[in-house]
Amino acid sequence: MARIINFFRTPVGAASAAGVILVAGFAVGFFSSQAMGSPGFSLALDSDTPYVFIKPLIGVTTPKSYGQAKLASLHTSVARTASAMPAGSLTRYAYYFRDLTSGAWTGINEEDQYDPASMLKIVVAVAAYKQEEATPGFLSRRLVYTQDLANVNAAFPFAPKIALSVGQSYSVPFLLKEMLSNSDNAAKDLLLSSIDQSVIDKVYIDLSIPKPNDTNSAGYTISPQDYSRFLRIIYYGTYDLSWQNSNELMQLLNDATFTSGLVAGVPDSVRVAHKYGEHVIGTGGVANGVELSDCGIVYHPERPYLICVMTEGKDPLQLANFIAQVSRATYTAVNADYR
C-alpha cells in the first residue's frame, strides 16, 4: 500500500534528509528554495511493488500553511463568490486549489465528502492503460457492447443517454475517448468488463484512497483534496504509468465536451484537462437535488494549477455557473496576485 513517509520525523541525518527532499523536488517540481527544511513536507511512496531496491515516488504532500500569504486573497475571493449566490441555490460547496509549480495550496471545506459520479472514470482510464502495459495489445482490442451491459446501465435511475449500440464492437481508444471526453457510461461499463479488477483496485490502493464497492458504488464519496491525487499523479508522471500514456489521458480530458464549469471561467486559449461529475439526489425516480463537481488542471501559461470544485444544490445550471465563477476568480487571482 502506498504510504506517506515524513522524512522530518525519521531517524536520518539532516544532510541525508535534505538530499532526499532535493531529489524529490526536482522529480515533481514541488519545492522552492524556501520550502527546504520546512516542517510538514512529506513524500508519498509506492511500497506495493515487487522491487526490493526502489520505492517509486507518487507525489509530495505540503502543509496548508505553506504559501498562505499569497493565497489569502484567492481564498477570500472564492468565499465571497459563494456568499453572492442567490439564496437557496447553493446548499454547500467545497474548493481545492494547488499551484503545480510550488506545491502551495488552499481550500474551503476541502475535506468534505461528495459523490464523485463520473469523475471516477479517470480511474478506469488509468487502469486501462495499466492493463495495456500488463497485457500488451489491450488497446488494440475491439470490445462488443452486450445487452447485459445495456441492462445494467438502464437499471440506474436518472441514467443519461449513451452513444453505444448493442451488438456493435468498439476499439478501446474510441471507448476511452467516449468515456473521458463525452462522459459516456456505456463506454465506461464496457471497459470495466474487460479490465482485471485487481488492476483497478491497485490504483486506489497505491494512493491510499478507499475504493467503491465492486458491485454497488452507491453511497461512495470522496473529498476534493483526495480526488486531486488522481490528477496529480497523471500530470507529474509520478505513477507507474508511461509518460506517453499519461499525456494521452490528459489530452482526452482536455477534449471534454462539458464546458459550462471550469472551462467557462478561463480564456478560450487556455487548456483545461478536467472531468466533471453529476449525481442526482432523489428517490423513486423523483429528483430533489443534485451534486455537480468539476476538477482538473488549468494550463495557465505561467503557473499551471489544479482546481477542484464540488457543489450541491437544486439546479445544475446554477451550480455550473457557480463553478464557472469560482474558476474565473481563481484564474484572475493567479494572474494578478500569485506569480
Higher per-residue pLDDT: 69 or 139: 139
Same-domain check for residues 50 and 160: no
Same-domain check for residues 277 and 214: yes
Same-domain check for residues 254 and 320: yes
Same-domain check for residues 129 and 54: no
Same-domain check for residues 135 and 279: yes
CA of residue 28 relative to chain centroid, distance: 17
Termini Cα distance of the chain: 36
Same-domain check for residues 31 and 106: no
The answer to whether residue 113 scores a pLDDT higher than 60 is: yes
Number of domains within the chain: 2
Same-domain check for residues 195 and 136: yes
Same-domain check for residues 171 and 128: yes
> What is the per-residue pLDDT across 261-308, written as a single tens digit (0 to 9) for each?
999 999 999 999 999 999 988 776 667 899 999 999 999 999 999 999
For 61, 77, 252, 318, the CA distances from 255, given in Å and listed in that order, are 29, 28, 5, 23
In the listed set 16, 40, 61, which residue is the last one of a domain according to the structure? 61
Same-domain check for residues 134 and 196: yes
Same-domain check for residues 279 and 210: yes
User: By C-alpha distance, which of 32, 65, 64, 28 is closest to 43?
Assistant: 28
Q: Report the distance separating Cα 182 and Cα 256, nearest Å.
A: 6
Higher per-residue pLDDT: 19 or 157: 157
Least confident of 22-31, 100-109, 206-215: 22-31
The answer to whether residue 199 scores a pLDDT higher than 60 is: yes
In the listed set 23, 38, 61, which residue is the last one of a domain according to the structure? 61
Higher per-residue pLDDT: 15 or 81: 81
Q: Average pLDDT, stretch 160-169?
A: 85
What is the residue-averaged pLDDT of the chain? 83
Q: Check residue 3 and give its pLDDT.
A: 36
CATH of the domain at 184: 3.40.710.10
Q: What domain range includes position 246?
A: 68-336
Same-domain check for residues 80 and 104: yes
Same-domain check for residues 51 and 94: no
Quote the pTM value: 0.82
Secondary structure class of 308 (helix, strand, coil): strand
In the listed set 61, 91, 109, which residue is the last one of a domain according to the structure? 61
In the chain, the percentage of residues whose pLDDT exceeds 70 is 80
